[in-house]
Amino acid sequence: MYGMNFNRENFDLMVKERTSLNAENTQLKTEVKLLNEKVQYLLKKLFGRSSEKLSPDQMELLLDELQEAQEALEIAEEAEQDDSEPVESRRGKRKPLKERVPEDLPVEQVIIIPDEVQGNPGRYKKIGEEKVRELDVVPTRYFIREIIREKFIEIDNREVPPLIAPAPARLIPNSYASAGLLLQIILSKYCDHLPLYRQEQVLKYRHGIEISRKTMGNWMYLIADWLTLIYEALRNEIRQSEYIQADETFIKYQDPKKDHCPNGYLWAYHSPGVGVLFEWFPSRAASCLD
């Protein structure tokens, strides 16, 4: 029966396991019920009267509990389905993975040959191979790029000035920050939401590199001057389009002159076939569309 000998011992084992699953299922349903009540409370606070609404911190906490409720519900449903399946069938069941690895990633092969074959290769013949794949990553590596421009003079004419190749263009003159380092800081701050003070700590404690957040902040201002040229060109191109889509999203911002965080507005402009432009204003006045 189900690939196993049916006897008293196996019967008692099945009854014991079924009882355990029923108890676990009951507990999970109770947790789901409690979490659903919290969800209802969250919805009331989210869409209720202003006096009942939550602060951002409370909202984030309850959203985490909402995620837990969803996960607990999935576990309870899976346990309820498994309760009607044979023991051996349950043990072999695996939840399908949702992860995806692109097929076009570079592949680095590590070939392992037995010591016996390496010691006497003429004695053996290859008949096949077994492959195991794993996803790997190369950690961020910092290094010093030393640019050396060699000088030359003519051997037969010492009166001619020495020859030296022109220096490569730099984003920030007289700075040790390369384009790659600046790009890393920009992506970490604006794409990965990693503030400069955290990047300062990462560089110091993981890599032994001390760059103050003030220095990185100054770099951001200087790079913004370069990006302003691209921004203005895109802005003019979109504003000259015949059809523009616009929308705004309010974002609270810090103002040292005020004791609270006022609302700012991130405006998005889209021109099909041209591009998307973002602008920030402290209001949603009509002048923002000028």
**Least confident stretch, 73-82, 102-111, 144-153:** 73-82
Which of 55-69, 243-257, 261-275 has the weakest average pLDDT? 55-69
Higher pLDDT, 95 or 196: 196
**Distances 167 to 148, 155, 170, 181 between C-alpha atoms, Å:** 9, 24, 9, 19
Q: Cα angle vertex 108, ends 180, 182, to 5°?
A: 5
Q: Which of 16-25, 64-73, 112-121 is predicted with the least confidence, judged by mean pLDDT? A: 64-73
Global confidence as pTM: 0.57
The mean pLDDT value for 73-77 works out to 64
Name the H helices within 134-274. Answer: 179-190, 196-207, 213-239
**Burial (0-12, 13-18, 19+ Cβ within 10 Å), 244:** middle
For the cut 50, the answer to whether the pLDDT of residue 234 exceeds it is: yes
170-198 residues labelled b (16+ CB within 10 A) or e (exposed): ebbeeeebeeebbeebbebbeeeeeebee
For 186, residues 6+ apart whose C-beta sits below 8 A from its C-beta are: 220, 223
In this predicted model, what pLDDT tens digit does every residue of 112-135 receive, in sequence order?
999 999 999 999 999 999 999 999
| Surface-to-core class of residue 115, CB atoms within 10 Å of its CB (0-12 exposed, 13-18 middle, 19+ buried) | exposed
- Spatial separation of the C-alpha atoms in residues 100 and 7, rounded to whole Å: 45
The separation between the first and the last C-alpha atoms of the chain, rounded to the nearest angstrom, is 78
Tell me the mean pLDDT in the region 59-64: 61
pLDDT band at 51 (very low <50, low <70, confident <90, very high): very low
Contact between residue 244 and residue 271 where contact means Cβ atoms under 8 Å apart: yes
Stretch 272-280: mean pLDDT, rounded?
89
Split at pLDDT 50, 70, 90, the class of 12 is confident
Share of the chain above pLDDT 90, in %: 43
β partners of residue 250 = 265
- Tokens 């009854």 belong to 15
Structure tokens that stand for 17 in this block: 């396991």
Give, in degrees to the nearest 5, the angle at Cα 118 between 116 and 123.
65
